[in-house]
Structure formats: C-alpha cells, structure tokens
Chains A and B, each alone.
Chain A
Amino acid sequence: MSAWLWIIATLLAVAALGWVFRAGGRWVTGNAPRFRDMSYGEAFGFALAAAALAGGTWLYLQPGAVFFRWAVQGFVIFAVAAYLFRELGRLIGTEGTRKLFRQMPLTAAFGILVILVYSFVAIFAGQISLRTVIIVAVVGMILTEIVRRNTGDAAATGFGGLVFAVNLVFVVMYLVGPIAPHGQEQVFELANVVAGGDPALGGNPDFPLGTDQIGRDILSRLIFGAQNTVGIAFVTTLLAFFLGGTLGLLAATLGGWLDQLLSRGVDVLMAIPSLIFALLLMTIAAVWAPQTGIPLTYFMIVIIAVIDSTRVFRLARAVGINIVVMDYIEAAKLRGEGLGYLVFREILPNATAPLLAEFGLRFCFVFLTIAALSFLGVGIQPPLADWGTMVRDLAAFINYAQFAPMAAVTPLLAAGAIALLTVGVNFVVDWMLQKSSGLKE
C-alpha cells in the first residue's frame, strides 16, 4: 500500500511543481503570451517531463541499473548517428535530395539509416561472388542510361553518382570479405558459450556473443539472420504487391463483375485473421512439403504473399478508384485509350506515393508475421539462421539477467534486431504519409 502512497505523493508534488512553474513563468516574463495563455495541463506536462528526467538521471547513476544504462546509451548513440547521417545528407547529393534531408525529421533520418545498414549487412553477410559484382555493375549502367534518356541531365548525373557509389561498395566488400566471422551453419565444439567474451564468466573472446546449444556462433547467425529474415520478407512483400497491386488497379479501372468478384473474394479471405490463416495453411503445407520435395520456406512465401495481397488489393483498389473518378481519366477514356495506357500512364503515376508508403507498412507486417511464425516454430526452417527462431531458442537466458546481463541480452538482441528494422521502416513511412497528406497543422 505504501507504494500507492508514494505514487500519489509524487503526482501531487508534480502537480504543485506545474502550478509553480506557470506562475513563476508569468511573474518572471511579465505575463508574456507564452505563459499567459498556457493551460494548466500544459504546465503539468512540463513538470511531469522534468520529474521524469530527474528520475531517469537518478536511476542512471544507480550501480544496479545495467540495462537502463544500456538502453539510455543505445538511445543516445542512435540519436547521434541519425543526426550525423542527416547532416551528411544535407551536405552531399543533388539539390533535390539535400532539400529532402533539410526537411526530414530526425526519426525519418534514423529510419533511412537503419534501412541502409540492414541492407548492407544483409547483402554482405557472406562472401559475395565476382559474378554478383559484375551483374550489379551492368544493371547500374543500364539503369543510368534509361534515366538519362527519360529525364533531365541533372537527375541523370545524380543517379549516376549513386550507381557509382553502390558499385564501389560492392567492389570494396568483395575484396574485404564477409561481415560474419563464421558461417551460419558452422558448428563448433564449444556449445553454450556465454556472451561477453569474458572467460571468467564462461565466455570466449572468439565468440563475442557466445554460441548456442549446438555450438553455432550467435553473432554470425545474427548477421546471417539479416540476410534470411529480411530477404525472405522482402521477396514475399514484392510478390504480395505484384498480386494485390495488379488486381486492385485492374478492379478499380474495369469495375463491373470483375471488381465485384475480386472484392467479395478478398472480403472472405480477410474475414479470417491473417496469422491464424497462415498457421492453418502452414499446417497443410507442412504435410505437402516433404511429398513434393519443395522446401517449406517456399510454401511460406507464397502463403503469406497471398494472404497479404488481399490487404494490398484493398488499398490499390481504393487508391485506383479515387483516381478513376478524375476528369482526366474520363477524358482519356473518351479519347478511346486502351486499358494499358489508362493503367500505366494515367493511373499508376498518381498511385505511386500511397503504394510506396503501403509497401513499407506491408513489409513490416510481413516481416513481423514471418518472425512470429518462426518464433512459433513453423516459419523459416533450420539450418537457415533466423531471428524469430533464435529468440525462441535463446529465450531461457533471460532468467540469468541478474547474474550475467550479457547472457540475457542475446535473445533480446535477436528480437531487438526485428524491432529496430520495423521501427525504422515505420518512421520513414510515417514521414512519407505526413508529407503526402499535407497535414500542416
């Protein structure tokens, strides 16, 4: 009960502080509008924030608060990294991208940085082959040529610079070698090495994050997890978009019975919660997989893509319908334009912004679904390294938190890796949506 008393006393103190703050502000500034028109709620908020800050500082200085310190340090490091990244973006690049970075909130800069780092880690987790480097170079050249033909010189130069930078990274990483210290399936004799690399606590400097039950390096598996988990989620989302986007825009443009048929079908599929439906279909796929000889992971990609394409369909159709009622579409129809011209030249260019934002959201959703399936043991199958599976396997370490904080961190690292990417993508999408909605309050 005394805990409740403490809470009430603190709240009262904060309330008093808020009142004093406002009254003091009015007195000091001679009733400046800032304080004169301040509502009490606002003043209370400031007081509460001050109290939280003070409490946080106190906690930070406590010797036992290891995790809190880590969290604060992590937060500060991320914030600083995002800030530096944004400053960098303001300095280099074309005029357009520099302006973009100038207007960007810190959260979005953080999101873009996270996405870049994840792509980097995912692509270069293992040794890349010479063939990959050459393919990237060729594709880059073709794309630059296309851009040069379709837009002005300034954009082409900017794009060319970007392609060159990407190629440079590929060449350098080809020479440097893989990021991961070990292979994802490589089994060592030392199993259950504790993270932290301190031999006195059962660690091993060769394995900074320790090894799992059968002796695989956790750090390497974390790095390869980026390749597997993110890569599979990305492919799945692409597939879902291809399916749902095409059908949705078609339904919007053509209308009539095709629209009715597709929409009702999607309604039914959406009436089954997606995770549950995925689990049901995975059960069936798990029976089929060994018989057909196709890996279960492929089944999973198709199943989740189909389930998710229903959501894409809804959005694409809604966006499409908003565009189809425009007079310029009517003008094109009355001109006698064909379906292809209508969809690709008139509708699609106007649908890209919302569809791109939706792609980010869908990716997060697919990524989380796959992580959840893996966590439940029916998603990405071993021996592929995957974050969801890792969390499940390492979860028991949490209970050692008080004696060996580093050991408890490993399952959280895998889960945190998932969270970090989705948070990053969501930050970017949030910013994009805010920009396009033009809600300038």
Chain B
Amino acid sequence: MTEARDLLLKIRDLRIEGRSDEDWFPIINGVDLDLHKGEVLGLIGESGAGKSTIGLAAMGYTRDGVRISGGSVEFDGIDLVNAPARVKRGLLGRRIAYVAQSAAASFNPAHRLIDQHVEAPVQHGVSGRSDSIADGTELYRKLRLPNPDEIGFRYPHQVSGGQLQRAMTAMAMACRPDLIIFDEPTTALDVTTQIEVLAAIRQIVQEFDTAAIYITHDLAVVAQMADRIKVLLRGDEVEEADTRTMLSAPKEDYTKSLWAVRSFERTEKPLAGADEVPVVSVRGVTAAYGDTPVLHDVSFDIHAGRTVAVVGESGSGKSTTARCITGLLPPLEGEVLFNGQVLPADYRKRTKDQLRQAQMIYQMADTALNPRRTIGQIIGRPVQFYSGLHGLRLRDRVNELLDQIELDPDTFYHRLPSELSGGQKQRVGIARALAAEPEFIICDEVTSALDQLVAEGILRLLARLQDELGLSYMFITHDLATVRAIADEVVVMKDGRVVEQGGKTEMFHPPHHAYTDLLLSSVPEMDPDWLDRLLAQRGVDNIGDAAVDKM
C-alpha cells in the first residue's frame, strides 16, 4: 500500500484568501500536501476548516470571491496556479475529476445523465460519443446501479440521491483521470444509502488505481476510504499520518478531542413505572398532508425527566409526529395527551398555558430566530408573553436565561442573530424555549447542522438542563451517535409507522427488528476494517437501498 510511487500532486505553502466587503481575509494559511499515484488521502476538519477550498485548489480552481495568494500547486509537473486558462481546462475533467457533495444539485436538470457523462470525453477528444456511452453503461454496471443499460437515459430528477451519487462517480471516471476529488460525497445521504455509495466508490477507485482526495467531516467514513489522513483546523494543518496510526494514536489535542466526541454518553435512566402518568402520550395518531398519508397509528409515551429519541431516515414521519404534538397538523385519528389530559388537536384551540407547556427547538437556528430582532427581544418576548414581566424584572429574567445557556448577558443582549455563531444561535433557541418554563421540549434535529464539537456542547447543555429543571425531551434525530449520547428510550420509525421502541441499552443489543438492524449496522465505525467486515458479513447485495427493498 505504501510502496514508493510517483508523486502526482505537490502543494507547497498554499495560501488562499476570501473576500468579504472590501477586505481579503485568509482562509488557508500555508498548507503542504503530497499525493502519490493511486493513493487516497482523507482531508477532515469541521466547517470552515478549508477542506473544500484545498480540494478545489488542487484542481487549480477557486470559487468566486476567493483567490490563491501564495504557494504552489503542481499536478504531474504542471504549475496549476500560473497555468493558462486553456491548459487548466484541458486537465479538468480529463486528468482531474470532481465529485460534488450534492449529486442532485450537481447534475444539470436539463440534460440526461448519459449526455452529461459523455460531455467530458467527447469535448476533450478522449473518445467518441458512442464509445463513451458504452463505457458509461459499463461503469454503471460496475457501480451496481440498477438497470445500467437504461438508467443513463433518464433525467437527474428521475433517479434517487444515492444512485445519482454513484452516477456522478461514474462521470468522474469517464476519462479515467489520474486524480479524483471527492467533496463530501455522502454527507447528504441517509446512512443506509451512504454505505452503498461508499462501497461503490472504494471499489472503483481501487480497480482503476486512481489517486483521490476524500474530503469529509465524518471520521468513521474517512477511516474506511483513505490510506492517509490529514486533519485541518481553520486553514491550518493539525497533523497528518497513516490512517491506522491516526486512529490509534493521534498526537495533537485537537485531534484527540475530535476522536473523543463520540465517547459522550449519558447513563440511561430506568424505565418509568407502568402506573406513572406520562407527560406526553401519543395515542394511535394517523395523519396526512392533504391526500398523502404520512403517519399510521403512531403511539408512544414520554415520561417526566426522560429523553425519548425518535429515530428514522428522511421521510419516515419523525417531524410530522412533532407537528401533530404541537397542533400544527391536527391528526385525522388518535389523540395527544398532556399529563393525562387530552389536548385540542389544533394549536389555535389550545389555551395559553397548554401552549406554554410544550416548546420546540429547531434544526436550523438561522430560520428559527427572527433576523431583525435582538437576542434580548427574542428571549424576552415569551417571558413577557407568558409571565407578564416587564422593565427591569424582565431584563433580570432574560439575563438569568442567558446565564443558563452559558452566554454572557452583557455581550449578547443587544446583538442580532447574524452576529452569532451557529452554536450560539442554537443556544439562543434553547433559551427561547426555556423562557416559557415548559415541562416538555421537542428537539428537532438540533445538532445535525452543527460541527461535532459544538454539537457535543449543545447535547451536554441539554442534558444538564434536563437534570436541573426536570424537563422531558422528545429528541428527533437520524444520527445514532446522538441517540447513544442522550436518549433514555428510543422509538424507531419507518414510512410513518413505529417499527420498534424500547430502552436505549435494549435497542443497541440484538435481537432487533430487521430494519433497526440494518440501520444500526449501516452506521460507520471508527475502524478501518469495518466496511470490509460488513461486506464480508452481509454481502454487497445486502446493504443499503437494495436491502431496504427486500424488506
């Protein structure tokens, strides 16, 4: 694996700047990178670390408003920083290819897949149209796309996300490039789909002995894909090492803290007694958007001081259940009980006190906070609205809430949401929910838009608040690591039905329902051999969508 091979890509002291208003500020502060032929390098880091920027710079490309201010990028002896535009265009697509994060957005909706596939080989004069169509079909077959002979003649919107991502990998392979940049190719996919794409990418990269830079924020994913790993933090390299060395013995504190995130786990509280009245009880809820049924007979209980994680992939009805509980979507059948009392189905018919008791924290803090109101106003409004406090006493209460979420009141009271970081915004969202002094909070994917370290902070905060204030949480998530960290009980949903429910420990140990099993086994682990083992165990045809279809 690590025998000495020709150097393909050599980056030295790369410096990149981005523009905001009139000033240029640094994004990358001098990064070195070596890549040999046939080698896969994993680039990992949190958002803002400059992973994608380096990936694109390796192609001699910068996005609008970004420029290379220093250093060199050499691809096979060609200086990409100073090369004429025409020379660079000749390399792109032919010798260096790119696989983007969202295949659904990166395929042109106006053309068929195969037309986009053959564009690079035909335009670069690598091969004729009919040859590259035949080759494309062959690649589709290799990547185990269903109906390889026919799928290329579909438009992007007619193909599912996981399949598109594989078709995009095929497109990158069209000219048999020396180097492929994978820019978070599986981030937007569900776990069961991700596994299939990972297996396909790894197989084809190995088969054609292509060098690759694999960019991701997910350690477990990169562990499966890369020979070497480079860790980045805000435009600086933290460390670089062989994958196994990096996983077993990271040197730097930052890397260690990244590795440690996954170890946060709260002890599970014992299940509530059968005679206890649950805070929230969902009973036989069936709901639909217009004529489209979304939920079928969903039932579960949430007890005082407990966290119930509702797990499932996109479209499984998790968020719809939350909408039924809050009364935004009155269910067709069934009812929602609060402390044993039936709540009116429509939120408009609920009393102020009933509304106060159930609060919500949203996934996207950007859309959850009114951009035109200050933090003080955002948190102060529910306080004033429910308790009628005003003047200094209102201010005191808001300060108290800001203290609770670990933000300094004097600094943040007059700020607007746009002046806060993602994690801080999410904290303000929590404070707004707390301001109503509720018993029950729905957390809708609250950590999925955040970096892992920040997300961990939010989870710890929520756990602390639960212990201090005796809150009950309904925790909607698709991430099983989050479930492991915070949940007491787990409800697994699929296609609008509850597939399985029970205590956390019980859920993470077999025997499972077949779907839960697939879900659990698809979560990548921080072990470089995990994917090999899984494929050996289940076989290539028993993972991902193929396995779901069999159910």
Contact = CB atoms under 8 A, between A and B. Distances in A.
Interface of A: 33, 36-37, 103, 326-328, 330-331, 333-337, 345-346, 349-350, 440-441
Contact of A440 (B64, B82, B328, B386): B64
B343 interface: no
A109 B352 CA distance: 51
A326 B367 contact: yes
Interface string B46-82: 0000000000000000001100000000000000001
B385 A337 contact: yes
Contact of A346 (B65, B328, B370): B370
Contacts of B355: 334-336
B85 interface: yes
B548 to A, nearest CB: 30
Interface size class of B (residues with CB under 8 A): 20 to 34
B328 A441 contact: no
Given A349-B372, A440-B64, A335 B382 contact: yes
Q: Which A-B residue pairs are the 5 nearest by beta carbons?
A: A349-B372, A327-B368, A37-B85, A327-B362, A328-B370
B412 interface: no
B270 interface: no
Nearest to A38: B85
Contacts of A336: 347, 350, 352, 355, 385
A328 B378 CA distance: 10
15 contacts: A37-B85, A326-B370, A327-B362, A327-B368, A331-B362, A334-B326, A334-B355, A334-B359, A335-B386, A336-B350, A336-B355, A336-B385, A346-B370, A349-B373, A440-B19
A440 B370 contact: no
A37 B359 CA distance: 58
Contacts of A335: 355, 381-382, 385-386, 436
A249 to B, nearest CB: 15
A60 to B, nearest CB: 36
Interface of B: 19, 21-22, 64-65, 82, 84-86, 326-328, 347, 350, 352, 355, 359-360, 362, 364, 367-373, 381-382, 385-386, 432, 436
A327 B372 contact: no
B84 A36 contact: yes
A330 B381 CA distance: 14
A333 B347 contact: yes
A441 B352 CA distance: 48
Contacts of A33: 82, 84
Given A36-B84, A331-B362, 8 more contacts: A37-B85, A103-B21, A326-B370, A328-B367, A328-B370, A333-B328, A334-B355, A334-B359
Contacts of B65: 440
A232 B303 CA distance: 66
Nearest to A31: B84
B79 to A, nearest CB: 12
A326 B19 CA distance: 29
A152 to B, nearest CB: 9
A103 B21 CA distance: 9
A331 B362 CA distance: 9
Contacts of A337: 385
Contacts of A349: 370, 372-373
Contact of A327 (B86, B347, B350, B364): B364
Contacts of B373: 345, 349
Nearest to B351: A336
Given A36-B84, A37-B85, A334 B370 contact: no
A440 B65 CA distance: 8
A37 B84 contact: yes
A156 to B, nearest CB: 16
Contacts of A331: 360, 362, 368, 432
Given A334-B347, A334-B355, A334-B360, A441 B64 contact: yes
Contacts of A440: 19, 64-65
Nearest to A348: B372
Nearest to A346: B370
Contacts of B386: 335
A335 B352 CA distance: 8
B242 to A, nearest CB: 39
A346 B372 CA distance: 8
**Residue in B326, B370, B373 whose Cβ sees the most chain A Cβ within 10 Å:** B370
A350 B352 contact: no
Given A334-B326, A334-B347, A335-B355, A327 B367 contact: yes
Contact of A350 (B82, B370, B436): B370
Contacts of A330: 328, 360
B328 A334 contact: yes
A330 B444 CA distance: 13
A171 B373 CA distance: 39
Nearest to B417: A328
A345 B377 CA distance: 11
A307 B369 CA distance: 36
A327 B362 CA distance: 7
Contacts of A37: 84-86
A441 to B, nearest CB: 6
Nearest to A328: B370
Contacts of A441: 64
B28 to A, nearest CB: 20
A415 B450 CA distance: 58
- In this complex, the member of A103, A335, A440 whose beta carbon has the largest number of chain B beta carbons within 10 angstroms is A335
A36 B328 CA distance: 61
A334 B19 CA distance: 40
A94 B350 CA distance: 49
Contacts of B347: 333-334, 336
Contacts of A333: 328, 347
Contacts of A326: 367-368, 370
A441 B373 CA distance: 29
Nearest to B358: A334
**Which of A37, A103, A326, A350 gathers most chain B CB within 10 Å?**
A326
A103 B364 CA distance: 31
Contacts of B86: 37
